[in-house]
Amino acid sequence: MDAVVLEQAKMDSVRVFSGSAHVGLAKEICDSIGVPLLPSVTRHFSNDCLYVHLGVSVREKEVFIIQPLSPPVNDHLMELLMMVDTARHASARRIHAVIPYYAYARSDKKDEPRISVTGRLVADLLRTAGASHVITMTLHSPQVHGFFTMPVDHLTSQSVFINHFRKRDLGNTVVVSPDIGHAKRAAKLARALNVPLAAANKERLTDEQVAVSAIIGDVRGKDVIIHDDEVATAGTLIKVIEVLLRKGIGRLTVACTHGVFSGPAIDRLRAIPEIEEIVTTNTVPMPAEKLLPNMTVLSVASIFGEAIRCNILGRSVGKLFAFWLDEQHNAQRPANISSL
């Protein structure tokens, strides 16, 4: 059989559905690979229980269900589990849970008595529901990948940030990680942009309170890109910005993959006129009331689309992975902390 015909036959076996969390992203992903987004129904019964229905047959098909765990997180999680379970009982060949934002990744360790490691619990629930495979992006910590007993494609959004920031003059720029413990992603961005790296020395006091004692690296007079995986209440971000502003930095940019911006985050960011640009992605939906004038939302649809295509055609997804070694930028060479 001709290779093109064989590839088309494989793509014809794909069935893509979206939960209610982010239909816009699901449509973009489908458009990027030339497949239709198929109909489904989600509604609540009068007692608040969910009803889920997939609109077409999935028997012996490759089923992809797209659903970020954005607020309301638990409703969207339950909807995803029910859609996966529905596809399993409808005799799908394989069921791929596409979760652009895995909210419970922040619950990744037992750091106090009598609590749940919920990141692991949700992974177990997905397996029980019938997920064969998970595609996600920028988990809060690498160990969360190991919570899953099924294959996981842990993708990175780095390429869209690189393309965005390379349009700038980066001659006086430094990338800042808001947390030394999570500096690896910021270091990869710094290497790719060929700029120095700095990091904040942060201590978390409560869920919403942190203390930032110092910035490790030379930032005085520099244009700064603060790069993080997620911004929720922006508590950490605000503390880091306060320290940076006292050091006399130049242009200030905030960049994050998951722009959750919960609670007081938008009001906090709006109150800092020194922020020139906030750059995030569309892993979670961005309602109009959260779109600040200085905010840029980059699409990751093509990254997820390529991951879906590679899975169907049996191709490597490696270079889309969050911790893939980037030979072009010599990933074995550590990014320089600019003051060391």
Please identify every residue annotated as catalytic. Answer: 202
Q: How many Cα atoms within 13 Å fall on the side-chain side of residue 96?
A: 23
Nearest to 64 by CA among 165, 135, 148, 139: 135
Contact 123, 148 (CB under 8 A): yes
Nearest to 147 by CA among 177, 116, 170: 116
Contact 321, 154 (CB under 8 A): yes
| 131-to-51, 157, 215 alpha-carbon distances in Å | 19, 23, 43
Rounded distance between C-alpha atoms, residue 192 and residue 206, angstroms = 34
Contact 237, 178 (CB under 8 A): yes
Rounded distance between C-alpha atoms, residue 153 and residue 169, angstroms = 33
Contact 150, 131 (CB under 8 A): yes
Cβ-based burial of 55 (10 A; exposed 0-12, middle 13-18, buried ≥19): exposed
